[in-house]
Structure 1
């Protein structure tokens, strides 16, 4: 899909010019650390494979592994995957799309999408969530992180590089409705005020795939 090609190219190039920013740790983000700990604790009730979808340089993949999860990373960008592998030779990383995860049905105990759904056009979100639902086993845990808002935009610095990639901010109410329609049960909904350098509040959702094996809600998967 065109938006995937643009996103892949953008992060390949940003990995050279803005790698320090893309590779920032969670050590100075206590709110995120607490939620990742909660996500890990929920998964570890019934351990199994976990996908970090849109893993970038593997910072959160590493963090989740250190919390005891059997985690692997997936990203569109070959350059970001190369950085992730170099920094974390003991972990698994693969190029791939969140819309076509290379895992069997109901294979995952958990799935993290941290600021990766934000590059999926709003009309395509049901397709992404349907794929998350397919990949997660019944009772599997999903965590989403995103910027809150209504805008579709491209940062000035990215525009100046001539890159064709869009950031889609999200309204939590919209995502909660999409999750319910897609066969997920909401566990937690939260947001925090913008930190230094951020222009919008940040949102977080934790949900589980409904236990009924065949339940898909109202969403269709191509």
Structure 2
């Protein structure tokens, strides 16, 4: 990582490296028991396919099961995760797909090359002061007309929680709770137009509501005909 990497990125990376193996074993497919979540992912896939052949980046791809689901839906997709251990596990579980180490604050991608950005339960680790930078990066890498789908734990009130232990391992992981309305406003400020917000109640072992926000990068404005500007010429 570069010397200017924020401390929270380093802490998130170290924490997920520490818990990657038990996490992948405990959560082999986080969408398996949530039909509404799967339906939203399917809708996102349809939107991306309709917009064109550009690929999707699954940012915060973890063990890779959601990346694999998108691939099965006919979407060209690759995974990006801040944890090298998570990336290694994803490559082992899904050898036919591409996974790379990276941060949503600085994606190693050219401008305007993605048809979509998927970020399920990864922006929860980004502090408020860094969220505009992450969303600006999503806007940068998206092609005009591209789509973003975010999923995150939510609730009526916003706040922060620090977790120092998980799966019997010592970690230092911060979680940031936000409402769909707050996230939608942040996306709009980054030039991404929100199109849908969904909030579902906790299910099973979940303790907080799950929120999803869908947005898109507006298509490029059509070029104005140049003929009009040059219609009158001097002789």
Would you say same fold, with TM above 0.5?
A: yes
- Counterpart secondary structure, 2:79: strand
- The answer as to 2:185 corresponding to 1:177 is yes
- The answer as to 2:194 corresponding to 1:189 is no
1:28-87 CA-to-partner distances (Å, cap 9, x unmatched) read 110110000000000000221110000001010000000000000000111100010001
Name the structure 2 match of 1:49.
55
1:69-126 CA-to-partner distances (Å, cap 9, x unmatched) read 0000000111100010001111000001111111100000011000000110011110
**Larger radius of gyration between Structure 1 and Structure 2:** 2
> How big is the shift at 1:159?
10
> How big is the shift at 1:187?
1.5
* Partner residue of 2:175 out of 162, 167, 187: 167
Name the structure 2 match of 1:39.
44
- Counterpart secondary structure, 1:44: helix
Cα contact 1:22–1:56 (8 A) shared by 2: no
1:110-166 CA-to-partner distances (Å, cap 9, x unmatched) read 110000001100111100000000000111000000011312113463397331210
Name the structure 1 match of 2:107.
101
* Partner residue of 2:77 out of 66, 71, 78: 71
CA distance in 1, matches of 2:79, 2:154: 25
Aligned length: 213
CA distance in 1, matches of 2:154, 2:23: 23
* Partner residue of 2:9 out of 4, 16, 19: 4
CA distance in 2, matches of 1:43, 1:147: 24
Name the structure 1 match of 2:230.
none
Name the structure 1 match of 2:207.
199
CA distance in 2, matches of 1:21, 1:191: 25
CA distance in 2, matches of 1:161, 1:105: 39
> How big is the shift at 1:17?
3.3
Cα contact 2:196–2:213 (8 A) shared by 1: yes
Taking structure 2 as the reference length, the TM-score comes to: 0.86
Name the structure 2 match of 1:23.
28
- Structure 2, unmatched stretches of 5+, are 1-5, 222-235
- Structure 1, unmatched stretches of 5+, are 214-222
CA distance in 1, matches of 2:32, 2:185: 32
| 159-168 vs 62-71, greater mean Cα deviation | 159-168
* Partner residue of 2:123 out of 117, 120, 124: 117
